[in-house]
Amino acid sequence: MAGRLASGRLGEHFVAGVATPGSGAAFTAIDPTTGAAVGPTYHEATAAEVERAAQAAGAVAGAFAAAGGPTRAGLLRGIAGRIEALGDELLACYGQETALPRARAEAELARTLGQLRRFADLAAEGAWVDARIDRALPQRQPVPRPDLRRMLVGIGPVVVFGASNFPLAYSVAGGDTASALAAGCPVLVKGHPAHPGTSELVGRAIAAAVHDAGLPGGVFSLLHGASHELGAALVRHPAVAAVGFTGSHRGGRALMDLAAARPEPIPVFAEMGSMNPVVVLPEALANRGAAIGKQVAASALLASGQFCTSPGLILWIDGPGAAELREALRDHLGAAVGAPTVHPSIRDGYVAALGEVLRLPVQVESRGQTAPAATAVCPTLLTAAPAALLGNPRLRSEIYGPAVLAVACADAAELRAVLQSLHGHLTGTVHGEGRDFASHGAALAVLRRKVGRLLANGVPTGVEVCGAMVHGGPYPAAADARFSAVGPTSILRWARPMCWQDWPAELLPPELRDDNPLGIRRTVDDVVV
């Protein structure tokens, strides 16, 4: 395999680290600007390839988990180095398959490399396992206490679904893959058909890094495919222990149902999008309504609305500044030119979602222009009365793309009622000044229960990769609101607690030995040392 690393895009899978042409149904990437096919031709992974990849992952899971944090850190750094070395080849392929600008590709690549190296540091340092030791108390009355030692261990092979809108940071070497490898879990990636060439280049780099590290090929597989059947086969395979997904609510829920129906159910950590409500309180509305409208419109237009944190709903209490806010939203969205989406399926989904909403009591306030591109979408501002939102659940659900629904409430009670009707979202943003926050504490308390991240006087687009970040939220924004899909704490999705009771000292994991050979932070008899 090593002799083929410079060959670029060949239409290959990586089944347990082995480059494989594939023999299933053929498909290609699509140039979002022209609609033309982008070579090479890829083939849907077959049932036999799924079986080989999953069996290999299951066979090496124990050894990879036992390899230790420093070994996994070396692998992650090796992956980052291999991807970085791809240089212009990777960036050019990214642009060709997505029509996203070079600056976006460079920023996403930097984020991807940063995530890999951050998880390498986390694995090397080792304290993420949360080691806890409660030493034996043989003299305790009335019942002696045994020696108990607990730490987090990798859950086993993880299936990662590549996301359409982030071909690097949420795909083959994205945060799910990086965090799972850091936890000691083999990874099987189901590549997204919107960018198979980008996926192959990155997959080739990962397979090479696994080989460089002297690890078994079963640590990583990349399987291409455009069908739902491929994803279902991976989720159903008995060797798979968990699933990571970023995408639509329909797709995430289907995976959750598949995983729950297995003879041995497994967790699905799905991030499924959001309307990301923006609330503008009265003093902020009066003082800077126009500026807020411009700011929210610009956020909604980023990458044609192809961010899971794009603001899709804006609420305010009618009063001074409302006309200026509405006018700014109308003007900026109406003057915008809709750029291409990364794949025809996203354009089709946007058009279908708008069609559903337009059959309900809403008004089209403004429409932008559509770029001369095969997958371009038209920015749209919609308005609706609070009663329409309360009476129609579809108006409280995401339109994935550059659409914003604006709702003017009569008073604070109506604003609270609308917020109470919302389901879970990734973010909630509040614009306020002066006494706004204190005067509307009841509404803000409702919003806090609905979101994973609460912002003041900003926009929800832009997700920092750091320890304090929460990229998740109450269902259906995410499958499990207790976890973040971004940042170092996302490693906790791929781990489970395990306890050793009265275990021979020489057979304990290094993290739990009395001499603490790794020098990690631990809790011993309820004291952090």
Instruction: Tell me the catalytic residues.
Output: 271, 308
Q: Which of 299, 239, 409, 306 is nearest to 99 (CA)?
A: 306
CA–CA distance, 208 with 87 (Å, rounded to integer): 16
Question: CB–CB of 241/57 below 8 Å?
Answer: no
Read off the tokens for 290.
């126009």
From the number of C-beta atoms within 10 Å of its C-beta (0-12, 13-18, 19+), residue 32 rates as buried
DSSP three-state, residue 398: coil
The two three-digit tokens of residue 495, written as one number = 């781990």
Specify the pairing of strand 523-524 against strand 132-134.
parallel
Residues 376/348, Cβ–Cβ less than 8 Å: no
Residue 14 Cα to chain centre, angstroms: 23
Q: Which residue type does 362 have?
A: V
d(C-alpha 189, C-alpha 203), whole Å? 9
Q: DSSP of 257-285, one letter per residue?
A: HHHHHSSS---EEEE------EEE-HHHH
Nearest 5°: the CA angle 188, 156, 487 is: 75
Estimate to the nearest angstrom the gap between the alpha carbon of 344 and the chain centroid: 21
Distance between CA 478 and CA 247 in Å, rounded? 10
Distance CA 446, CA 80 (A): 42
**Burial class of residue 528 (count of CB atoms within 10 Å of its CB; 0-12, 13-18, 19+):** exposed
Reply yes or no: is the peptide bond before residue 311 cis, omega within 30 of 0: no
CA nearest neighbour of 170 among 252, 246, 117, 71: 246
C-alpha distances (whole Å) from 192 to each of 201, 296, 342, 504, 506 are: 13, 30, 11, 47, 46
State both tokens at 116.
């890999």
- CA 157 to mean position of chain CA atoms: 18
What interhelical angle do 47-66 and 228-236 show, nearest 10?
Answer: 40
Token pair in block for residue 462: 């832009």
